[in-house]
Amino acid sequence: MSQHSTSIEQRLSDLGIILPTPAAPVANYVGAVLTGSTLIVSGQLCFDAAGKLAPDHIGKMGDTATMEDGQAAARLCVINVLAQIKAVVGSLDRVSRCVRLGGFINCRPDFASLPQVMNGASDLMVEVFGDAGRHARSTIGVAQLPLNALVEVEGLFEIK
Q: What is the CATH number of the domain that holds 136?
A: 3.30.1330.40
Per-residue pLDDT at 26: 81
Residue 25 lies in a domain: yes
Residue 15 lies in a domain: yes
Residue 119 lies in a domain: yes
Per-residue pLDDT at 24: 87
Residue 12 lies in a domain: yes
Residue 1 lies in a domain: no
Residue-wise pLDDT for 10-63, tens only, equals: 999 999 999 999 988 888 999 999 999 999 999 999 999 899 999 999 999 999
* CB of 9 closer than 8 Å to CB of 2: no
CA dist 10 and 13 (Å) reads 5
Give residue 116's pLDDT band: very low, low, confident or very high (50, 70, 90). Answer: very high
Residue 2 lies in a domain: no
Residue 94 lies in a domain: yes
Whether the pLDDT of residue 5 is over 80: the answer is no
What's the structural domain count of the chain? Answer: 1
Domain interval for residue 54: 8-159
Burial of 80 (0-12, 13-18, 19+ CB in 10 A): buried
CA dist 2 and 86 (Å) reads 21
